Amino acid sequence: MNPDATLYATIAKTMVLRNDYSNIYVRGTDWLDKPHFPFWVAAVFFKIFGISDWAYKLSGIVFMLMGAAYTWLFAKSLYNKQVAVWAVLVLLTSQHIILSNNDVRAEPYLTGLIIAAVYHYYKADVRNNSWHLLAGCIFAACAVMTKGMFALITIGGAIVGHLIITREWKRLFHWRWLVAMVLVSLFILPEVYTLYLQFDAHPEKLVFGHKGVSGIKFFFWDSQFGRFFNTGPIKGSGDPLFFVHTTLWAFLPWSLLLFAAIFQYIKKGIRVPRMHEWYNLCGAMITFLMFSASKFQLPHYLNIVFPFFAILTAQYICNIKAVKTINVVRTTQIAVIALLLAITAVLHYFFRPGVFPIPAGVIITVLIILLFALPRWLGTQWYEITGFATILAACIVNIYLNLVFYPALLKYQAGSEAA
């Protein structure tokens, strides 16, 4: 199992035990990689609830739920309540979102912070509201202190992309954006200061095998652009199609609908661009293309654009009117549901976990029964029936994975067994 979540929890635990929130240590040595914000948040949860596994995961879940709330607000502002509800349902049942709530790294925090910043900047723009501008800057700064400067590309890409495509030049060059840049610069000073204290003020420290390493330079350049261009101390190798096939499984069970939604949105929007919103498409695709061009790629990077993906998917399924398209979408989702359940059954047959907890068996059995009865009772529209069936299938698969498969798999992880 990936050790990142354990590493991040250990860093936050060390902060609490040492009562030192400026320095980041791993195994007693200085650690220069990720910014401080996720560790500060986790440390606060440790202070409140005690140092435990569930307290650490709770911090990530809270921020993911915040992301869901802002997804609802943003979708409702751009479309309607119906689209907003389905955007949240799509987001929270996407495979990698569920996985990230169990394997908490920086992404749950970043996902919530980015969609919150975009929503408040959108409100600041359309309402000329200074309080929304301030809130947007706070969330944007926290996003930067979570993952680095690239977070601003996603946030700025959504806002700037929309204003350019719709040719809203006065709004694009409004003075509020200069104020926003100044405020974000001020709000990230806690991160800059802590890096200065730990690294820049101590050039004698050995970091990445060298002395005189600047933590501030690493934060602004090496940790982001260094990975992108493969010139920093942490290197990788990129594949331009990596995030295409990653999306296929990470956004399940909605990934095929997402591809259709993006295609149809561009097809319709390009005819009358000023009649459409482009926040979601620009925020998602600019980030997607940037990650695809990067030399350092990991599947969980994509989580930050899932709120945009969810809104695009929701507005698509809620607005399909053609009977032929409805039949195609319904058939596609039935096939996806059948495939997911079949793969889960095959996995169970060949893996054969030693113990199948009775509560898990009861819940899965009930959900399978509901899969055939509940959607038609809950929904009247075709997409409600199909959508609820898809959600139940996602719940069945992930309850099996989290209550049966992963616990059995952990027996093969030497560290947890030794502990």
Q: 3-state SS of 327-381?
A: HHHHHHHHHHHHHHHHHHHHHHHHHCCCCCCHHHHHHHHHHHHHHHHHHHHHCCC
Which of the pair, 257 or 239, is modelled with greater confidence?
257
Distance CA 206, CA 253 (A): 46
Distance CA 146, CA 140 (A): 10
Tokens representing residue 384 in the block: 């409600």
* pLDDT at position 414: 53
* pLDDT at position 229: 60
Give the H or E element holding residue 145. helix 130-147
Residue 220 near residue 151 (C-beta atoms within 8 A): no
Distance CA 169, CA 413 (A): 56
What's the DSSP call for residue 3? Answer: S
pLDDT reading at 419 higher than 70: no
399: Cβ contacts below 8 Å, ≥ 6 apart: 360, 363, 364, 367
Give the H or E element holding residue 215. helix 215-217
Tokens representing residue 332 in the block: 């596609």
- Give the CB-side neighbour count of residue 379, counting CA atoms within 13 A: 20
Tens-digit pLDDT profile for residues 35-69? 999 999 999 999 999 999 899 999 999 999 999 99
* pLDDT at position 409: 80
29-30 and 25-26: which strand pairing?
antiparallel
User: Can you tell me the mean pLDDT for 215-220?
Assistant: 89
* pLDDT at position 301: 85
What's the DSSP call for residue 141? Answer: H
pLDDT reading at 242 higher than 90: no
Tens-digit pLDDT profile for residues 82-101? 999 999 999 999 999 999 88
Phi, psi for residue 352 in degrees, rounded to 5? 50, 70
User: Can you tell me the mean pLDDT for 137-147?
Assistant: 96
* pLDDT at position 249: 93
Beta-bridge partner residues of 207: 210
- pTM of structure: 0.92
Predicted confidence band of residue 291 (pLDDT cuts 50, 70, 90)? confident
pLDDT reading at 24 higher than 50: yes
How many helices and strands (H and E) does the chain possess?
22, 4
Judged by average pLDDT, the poorest of 8-17, 68-77, 177-186, 369-378 is 369-378
Which of the pair, 201 or 295, is modelled with greater confidence?
201
User: Can you tell me the mean pLDDT for 67-76?
Assistant: 98
Which of the pair, 290 or 44, is modelled with greater confidence?
44
Residue 340 near residue 394 (C-beta atoms within 8 A): yes
Rounded alpha-carbon distances, angstroms, from residue 181 to 167, 186, 188, 287: 22, 9, 11, 20
- Using a pLDDT cut of 70, give the percent of the chain over it: 93
Predicted confidence band of residue 418 (pLDDT cuts 50, 70, 90)? very low
pLDDT reading at 385 higher than 90: no
Q: What is the average pLDDT score of the chain?
A: 89
Rounded alpha-carbon distances, angstroms, from residue 279 to 10, 72, 78: 37, 15, 9
Greatest pairwise CA separation for the chain in angstroms: 70
29-30 and 210-211: which strand pairing?
unpaired
